Amino acid sequence: MNITVIGTGYVGLVTGTCFSETGNHVMCVDINEEKVKSLSAGKITIYEPGLEVIFHRNIEKKRLEFTTDLAKAVDFGDIIFLALPTPEGEDGSADLSYIIDVANKLGNLIKKYKIIIDKSTVPVGTAEMVHNAIAKTISEDLFDVVSNPEFLREGVAVEDFMKPDRVVIGTNSERAREVMRTLYEPFVKQGNPIYFMDERSAELTKYAANSFLATKITFMNEIANLCEKVGANVDMVRLGMGSDTRIGKRFLFPGIGYGGSCFPKDVKALAKIADQNEYEFSILDSVIKVNEKQRTVLFDKIRNYYKGDLKGKTIALWGLAFKPNTDDIREAPALYIIEKLLKAGAIVQAFDPEAMENVEKLYGDKIAFANDQYEVLNNANALMILTEWNEFRSPDFNFIKSKLIDKAIFDGRNIFDPATMQQNGFYFESIGRP
């Protein structure tokens, strides 16, 4: 098939690249000329494991191309994916201005039947808004609007796309349904389902899924905080809970809160949808409140250790991205902790395998950056672990101890065992464990 993807951000680039991998011809369009120039030259603009290999392969095979010409891209594609930003508005709702702006333009560009697909995470009713915007200028016989939310986890997005747990497609059009089934059949050869439903249900499914996972994380963080009060070990509680098949083992790891481009924005957006429909979604309100508090709980621990005085203390940070295997720092707990440390007068030096360039754009020379996880320990009083990168899990503890002035480690991701740290002579604090 000839596929157009409008938007070359995280979702758009992964979507376009993965569709080209199964033999489709994909044209991605973006208004950012520099980005399009880089992508066309074979320079990938995001960090995502496994993406670069298939990106280059499909450019070489001429199945994947990039342009700034929207009219050309619309004319090319039989299927047009909208993978545009939906940033959080001031009131917590999703900002649909990018999507509606493109929808208004599509009506003047479509000359034959097209399927317009909302791939972005959008509020309930967006498909109807897109449909109405296009229908202002062309006949409804020339297009269908479909909701096809993405369920990509940063760090494993290629695997998620190529081998999805499920594909959700919202449409009431039989014509669009059959095209979408054909499009996705190569990705579900092992029997994973394609669920067809109405557009509004598909739109709500994405928000419901992300909000439930965020709730699960938040609940576990609350349990971890309670464990510290009563002297229990959250690791043991997690094992006991996770073995129940009704609960499951995943998303039960406590830490310093969720971040990224999806959970914070989607939880707030779903809460806003409920508010607009005069429904009090109390659980989500609590999730938002608890997560905001959890993001800086590790700062409270280090501040207490230094008896409220962090001025002049040099704090080393391992990890800046909101999760491992990505350079994404959107709503990363590390950023909130950095703000607290700087405000308290601490000297901050940091290392992350992928995210330092993005953080440097925000802070400049306010914090120092190191070339590796050991260099960042130079002259440091204490170490804070903020992202659970695999390379941090089995370090040289003797070397760390020789570098840290106060032999203190604050583990916000529970990657080290407390007993082992005690045996190695560290002062050690983590989340929800003795």
Is residue 95 within 8 Å of 88, Cβ to Cβ?
yes
Q: CA–CA separation, 331 vs 239, rounded Å?
A: 28
**Is residue 18 flagged as an active site residue?**
no
Q: CA–CA separation, 85 vs 8, rounded Å?
A: 10
Q: CA–CA separation, 20 vs 158, rounded Å?
A: 12
- Count H helices, E strands: the chain? 17, 14
Query: Which residues, including other chains, have CB under 8 Å from residue 95's CB and lie 6 or more apart?
Result: 85, 86, 87, 88, 89
Q: Which of 18, 28, 227, 262 is catalytic?
A: 262
Residues shown for the chain: 434
Question: Which residues are 428's β-sheet partners?
Answer: 409
Three-state DSSP at 363 gives helix
Q: CA–CA separation, 368 vs 253, rounded Å?
A: 30
Is residue 257 within 8 Å of 289, Cβ to Cβ?
no
Long-range contacts of 302-309 (CB under 8 A, 24+ apart): 302/382, 302/384, 302/408, 302/410, 303/344, 305/382, 305/408, 305/410, 305/427, 305/429
User: For the chain, how long is the longest CA-to-CA vector?
Assistant: 74
Q: CA–CA separation, 395 vs 22, rounded Å?
A: 40
Strand arrangement, sheet containing 347-351: 368-369, 347-351, 314-318, 382-385, 408-411, 427-429
Write out the two tokens for 414: 């529970």
C-alpha distance from residue 219 to each of 193, 205, 241 (Å)? 29, 21, 12
Please, what is the end-to-end C-alpha distance for the chain in angstroms? 57
Count of CB atoms situated within 10 Å of the CB of 13: 26
User: Whose CA is closest to 95, among 322, 214, 213, 268?
Assistant: 268
Is residue 332 within 8 Å of 367, Cβ to Cβ?
no
Q: Which positions are annotated as active-site residues?
A: 262
